[in-house]
Amino acid sequence: MAADQTNLAPTCVNHPKVETRLTCSSCGDPICTRCMVATAVGQKCPRCARQSGRAKGNPETAVLARAFGVGLAAAAAAGLLLLVLLAAVPFGSLLLGAAHGFLVAAAVRWAARRRTHTRLGLAAAAAAVLGLAAVVALFGGDPLTARLLLFYALSGGIAFARASGIW
């Protein structure tokens, strides 16, 4: 009966013809024993073994683009909710700005596979400001009011600090 069941194992990301049950302990990609790099925290793929999450090497352009895109989408989605909350809670802009920046930074770090870098911080800050400004402009508001400028500064600052690894 076991011979009738087909048990397909995933294939290695670097060697598509090699079936494997090993996965990278950082990113979860399937890897074979030829690719595996043994570390103190488990087996890793060569890419994750090369750089830690706090490595200061420059991230690739694709990682920056993906992180910025995800951050922009998160900033816009959270911006819709925050505009409603800003209208309802006039004195909560500082707390909401901090939450917005934290959320955008979390999205950027997730897209960059928990990596931190100054360039990722800049991408997070730009995504936080541009995402919210686009939502405000889309709904006919003025994106350059004094209240929103304070919100941009706080949200962008926290997004930068969290995604760059400062905080």
CA–CA distance, 163 with 30 (Å, rounded to integer):
27
- Per-domain boundaries in the chain: 1-50, 61-164
CA–CA distance, 47 with 136 (Å, rounded to integer):
40
How big is the CA angle at 152 (ends 157 and 117), to the nearest 5 degrees?
A: 30
CA–CA distance, 59 with 57 (Å, rounded to integer):
6
Mean pLDDT of 59-85: 89
Residue-wise pLDDT for 112-156, tens only, equals 988 888 999 999 999 999 998 999 899 888 888 877 788 889 999
Q: Which of the four pLDDT bands, split at 50, 70 and 90, describes residue 160?
A: very high
CA 69, 71, 74, 79 dihedral sign is negative
Assessment of whether the complete model's pTM goes beyond 0.85: no
Residue-wise pLDDT for 4-41, tens only, equals 445 677 899 888 898 998 888 888 889 998 888 888 77
